[in-house]
Amino acid sequence: MELKYFLIGLCAFFYFYSPVSTESTCKLKAKFNLSGYKNTDKKKVVVGGMFPVHKRIASSDGNTSSLPVSAGCVGFNFRTFRWTQTMLFAINEINNKKELLPKTDLGYVIYDSCFTISKAVEGTLTYLTGQDEAVPNYRCGNGAPLAALVGAGGSDLSIATARILGLYHFPQVSYCSTCSALESKFQFPTFLRTIPNDKHQSKAMAQLVLHFGWTWVGTIAADDDYGKYGIKDFKDQVEEAGVCISFSETLPKVNSPEIIQRIVKTVIESTAKIIVVFSSDVDLSPLILELVQHNVTNRTWIASEAWVTSALISQPGVGSLLGGTLGFAVKRAEIPGLQDHLLNIDPYADPLTEEFWETLFNCTLSYGKALKQAKQSAAGVNGTLSRAVRAVPDGLCTGKESLAKVNNTYSDVSQLRITYSVYKAVYAVAHALHNMEYCVPGQGPFVGNSCADITNFEPWQLMYYLKNVRYKMPNTNEEIYFNEGDVEGFYDILNWQVNSNGEISYTTVGYYNASAASEDMMTIKNDSIIWNNQVTEPPRSVCSENCLPGTRKGIRQGEPVCCFDCIPCADGEISNTTNARECILCSGDYWSNDAHDTCVPKIIEFLDFGEPLGITLIVISAFGALVTIAVAVVFVVNIRTPLVKANDFLLSFTLLFSLVVTFLCSIVFLGEPQKWSCMTSQVALALGFAICLSSIMGKAAVLMLRAQALKAARNRAKAAAKAAKAAAEAAANRGSPDVIVTSTNNNNETSSSPNPDVDILTCGHQRAIAATAILIQIIACTVWLLILPPYPIKNTSAQNIKIILECEKGSVIFICCIFGYDILLALLAFIFAFIARKLEDHFSEAKCMTFGMLVFFIVWISFVPAYLSTRGKFMVAVQIFAILASSFGLLTCIFLPKCYVLLVKPERNTEEMMKPRPKPRDGTSTGTSASLATAATEVTATTAFDD
C-alpha cells in the first residue's frame, strides 16, 4: 500500500510541477537499462516475462555529479537462462498449435530482473508504460495489448511487482514465487502462480522433521520475504509439536564475509545435526563454499524447492557436506522438443544470448573486442602481432561451438521442475486468452453478458479468465487450475546421494500431497535414503536424549524445552511413556514397581499361619498352654496335699486358666484379620490378663493384709513381753522371795494359740477381691464390643509398598481404658506382693508373685519401644512375643517353685513345712505365708512367777 501511494503521489508531482512546454510529454527524466527479449511486431497479443538471468546488479561508484544511469547486471545464471528459453519455446509452440489460439500469434517482452527488486520494478513500470521509458499511470504504447506478466522470479521480486501490477488490475502468473504472503488477495489481487504455496512446503518440512523424531534443529533463511515467511511458518509448525530451534541465522542479500563466517561458526558449534534452509541458490552459495572450506560434515540439510536441484549448489566437492540432503521439489516433467530448442539457439540473435555464449565458452563474439584483447596480451610479450593472429585473434568465438558437448545446467533437462512451472505459466496465459477469444457474444461474463475483444481488452478482463482457467498440459496431461490464485501443493522428496565418483544424484524417496488426508499426506521410503557419510540409519538430533518410562522431564532454567534432565519418578509414582512431563501417582492399593513404569498391586501383608514365624509362634503358644495344663494336672493330682491346700486351689486354677487363655489368644492374632478374630483377640487378651492379674492381686492383697495384721500382733506381744520382763526385774531388785523370774527361749518356742486379728482374713476375701476385679473388666469389655468394637482394616499408610491387614481398635479411649485397667491391676498386685514379701517361711508365695510381676513389667516395658519401631506383621509378632513372654514369666515365677516341691521334693510337702520358722533372737517371729490359710500365727511370751 505504501508503494501504491508513493506512485500516485509521484505521478501527481510530475503532472503538476513539470516545466510547461508547447509539446506535452508523458515520460520521466530517467532511462532504464533493461536487457532481455522482445518480439511484438505484427503480434495480436504480447505476453510479458521476467527472469533473474543475472545474480545481482553491478556495484556503482555512487557519483551524483552526473546523470544517473541504471545499473547493469553481473553473474550470469545458466539455470534461470534456461527458464527464459523455456518461455520462448512455449510461446513458439503455442503459436504453432492449431487447437490453441489458432487465430492469434503471441508476442513477448522478456526482461532480466537480475534477482534484484529495483530491476524488477524497472521492468514492471516499462511493461505498464509500453515504452522503454517508464511513465507511471500512463500507457503510451500503441502496439498489441500486453496480456500478463510471467514472473518475476523470486518471492521478493514478485511481491514488489505484484504491488504495482495490482494497482492496474494487471495479471501476473509466477513460476517460482512461493512465499505464503502472496496468497493475500487483499494485497495482491491479480497474483497467481503455478508453483505451490510455501505454507504447504513449510508444513511438509515440519512433518519430515517429526517423522524422523528430530527435536533439535537449526534454521537458515534468506534475508527476504521468501526466507522469512517460509522459516516462520516452519517454526510455528514444529514448535507447536515440541521441536526446539537450536539456532536461527539469516543469509545476507549482499555478500558479507563477516556474516558468513559467523554463520559458519554457529553451524560448527551447534549440537543440532539437522539444518533447515529456506533460501535461493544464489543467496546460499557463499555459505556452502565457506562450509566446504571448513570441512564441515555430519550434518543433514533440509532443502527448500528453491535450491534442492540447483546446479549452483551441487558443485563438485560438496558431497561430504551435502550428501544425504533431503529436500522438497515441485513436480518434474519431460518437455518434448525443449532440449533441441536449447541446443539450437543463435548466439548472435540478441545481446543476452551473446553474453550467454561468451560466458559458457569463455570467449567473445566481438571481433574488435577479441583483437583488442590479443593486442594487450601481445604487448605483454613482444609487442607484435602475427599475421595469423590479426586475422583470427585468440578468444574469438566462432559461433559454431557445440552446446551438446558442454556439461552444463543450461542444457540439463533431467530435472525440469521450475522449468516445467514456467511452461505451465505460459500455457495458463494462452488458455485464458483462448477462452477470451472464443467467448460467445451474449454469453460473456461481463456487463450485459458481453465479451472482451482480444485485440483491445482491459487487464481486468483477462484476469477473470485467468482466475477461472482450467486446462491440461499437452505433454503430461496434468490438469491445472487455480484456487484463490494457488495450485495444489504436491512435492517430490529428493535425497542427495553421492556416487563413487563424488557426483551427486537426486533420488526420489517420497512424496507429499497437501490435498490428501492428513495421515496420507507424506509417503517416504526410509530404506531408500542414504544419509550423510553414506550411512543408512537416520541421524539423531536432540538436545537431550529421550527420558525413558520411569522418569520425567525436568526443564533446565534458561534453556529451550527440548533441553532437559531426566528425573526418576518418586516412589509410588510412575511414567509409562517416553518423555513424560509429569509422573502419575499410583492409586491407594497400588505402588510403583522397581522401574517406576507400572503400578503394581501392593504386597498384602499379615502374619500368616503357614509361614515359619507363624508356625514358630503357634508352637510356642501351644507349648505354653500345654505346660499350663500340665501344671493344673499336677495340682489336681496333689489337691489334698498341704501345699495345694495352703494356696487356695480355686484361685490357683483360675490363674492357670487365665494363663491358658493368654497363651491361646496369641494364636488368634495370626492369619488374615477378620471381624470375629479382631474382637476375639483383643477381648481375650484383655480378659485373660485381667483374670490372671486379679487372681494374683487377690492373693497378694490378703497376704499383705495378714502380714500387716501379723506384724501388729507381734508388736503387741513384744511390748507385753518387755513389760513383764521389766516388772519381774523390778520385783527381783526389791528382793521379794515370792517372785521367780523365768526367761523363755524365743528361738526354741512357738506359740500355738491362735491370733484372732489374723484369722479373720480367709480365702474368701481373696476370691471376692479377684471376682470383683474380673467383673469390672468383663463389664468394660462388653460395653466396648457393643459400642465400638475392633474391626479389620487395610493399612496403606504404614508402608508404601505394602497393604498391611490389621485390626483397628475401634476406639482409642476404650482400648486405653481396658488395657489401662490391666496395668492398674498389675501395679496393685506388684505393690501388694512386694509389701507381703517379708513373710519369712519355708515357702514364701509373696516373693514368687513379686518376681512374677517384675518379669511382667520388664516384658511389657521392653515391648513398647519394640512395638512402636516395627510395622506390619512384625508388629503383631512383637505383640505375641510380649504376651507369651509375660505369660511364661508369670507361670514360671509363681508355679515353678510349687511344682518343684510337688514333683521333685515331695518330702517338703508337709504340715511342718507349712508352719512358721523359729522366732529370731530379737524376740520376733514371722508367720508362714502358706500356713496363714490353715492356722493362726502363734506368738508365745512365757512369764513365770515364783510364789
Instruction: Delimit the domains of the chain by residue range.
Output: 36-58+72-196+337-369+398-481, 198-333+488-528, 551-603, 612-711+764-790+818-907
Mind listing the pLDDT tens digit for each residue in 850-893?
888 888 888 888 888 887 777 778 888 888 888 888 889 888 88
φ, ψ of residue 629 to 5 degrees: the values are: -65, -40
Look at residue 756 and tell me whether its pLDDT is greater than 50: no
- CATH hierarchy code of domain 612-711+764-790+818-907: 1.20.1070.10
Using a pLDDT cut of 90, give the percent of the chain over it: 41
pLDDT-derived band at 946 (thresholds 50, 70, 90) equals: very low
Task: State the chain's mean pLDDT as an integer.
Answer: 83
Least confident of 110-124, 127-141, 872-886: 127-141
Matching residue, cell 479382631: 678
Q: Which residue has the cell 523470486?
A: 154
Report pLDDT for 12: 44
**Do 239 and 270 contact (CB within 8 A), yes or no?**
no
| Sign of the dihedral through C-alpha 722, 723, 727, 728 | negative
pLDDT, residue 770, reads 82
Confidence of residue 849 (pLDDT cuts 50, 70, 90): confident
- What would the mean pLDDT of 761-771 be, rounded to a whole number? 74
Model confidence band, residue 744 (pLDDT cutoffs 50, 70, 90): very low
Residues 6+ apart with CB under 8 A from 861: none
pLDDT band at 740 (very low <50, low <70, confident <90, very high): very low
At 799, is the pLDDT very low, low, confident or very high (cuts 50, 70, 90)? confident
The confidence band for 67, taking pLDDT boundaries of 50, 70 and 90, is low
Identical topology for domains 36-58+72-196+337-369+398-481 and 612-711+764-790+818-907:
no
CA distance 201 to 205: 6
Alpha-carbon gap, residue 423 to 82, rounded angstroms: 11
**109 with 151: CB under 8 angstroms?**
no
pTM over 0.95: no
Residue 137: pLDDT band with limits 50, 70, 90: low
Residues 6+ apart with CB under 8 A from 883: 662, 663, 665, 666, 685
Q: Is the pLDDT of residue 372 over 50?
A: yes
| From the candidate CATH numbers 3.40.50.740, 3.40.50.2300, 3.60.150.10, 1.20.1090.10, the one assigned to the domain spanning 36-58+72-196+337-369+398-481 | 3.40.50.2300
Return the higher-pLDDT residue of 510 and 603: 510
Average pLDDT value for residue range 251-266? 93
What does the pLDDT average to over 305-313? 92
Task: Write the class of the CATH domain 198-333+488-528.
Answer: alpha beta
Query: Pairing mode, if any, of strands 490-498 and 326-329?
Result: antiparallel
Calpha distance 291→614 (Å, rounded): 77
- pLDDT for 440: 93
What's the mean pLDDT in 718-738? 76
Residue 139: predicted pLDDT: 57
Residue 352: predicted pLDDT: 92
Strands of 16-82, DSSP E:
36-39, 45-51, 54-57, 73-76
- pLDDT for 22 equals 39
> What percent of the residues of the chain are helix, what percent strand, and what percent coil, each to the nearest 5?
45, 15, 40
Collect all residues with Cβ–Cβ distance below 8 Å to 929 and sequence separation of at least 6.
703, 706, 707, 836, 839, 841, 843, 844, 845, 846
833-856 mean pLDDT: 75
828 by Cβ neighbours in 10 Å (0-12 / 13-18 / 19+) ranks as buried
The amino acid present at 502, given as its one-letter code, is G
pLDDT tens readout for residues 886-934 = 889 888 888 888 888 888 888 877 776 665 555 444 444 444 444 444 3
CA–CA separation, 813 and 892 (whole Å): 33
**Across 199-218, average pLDDT:** 95
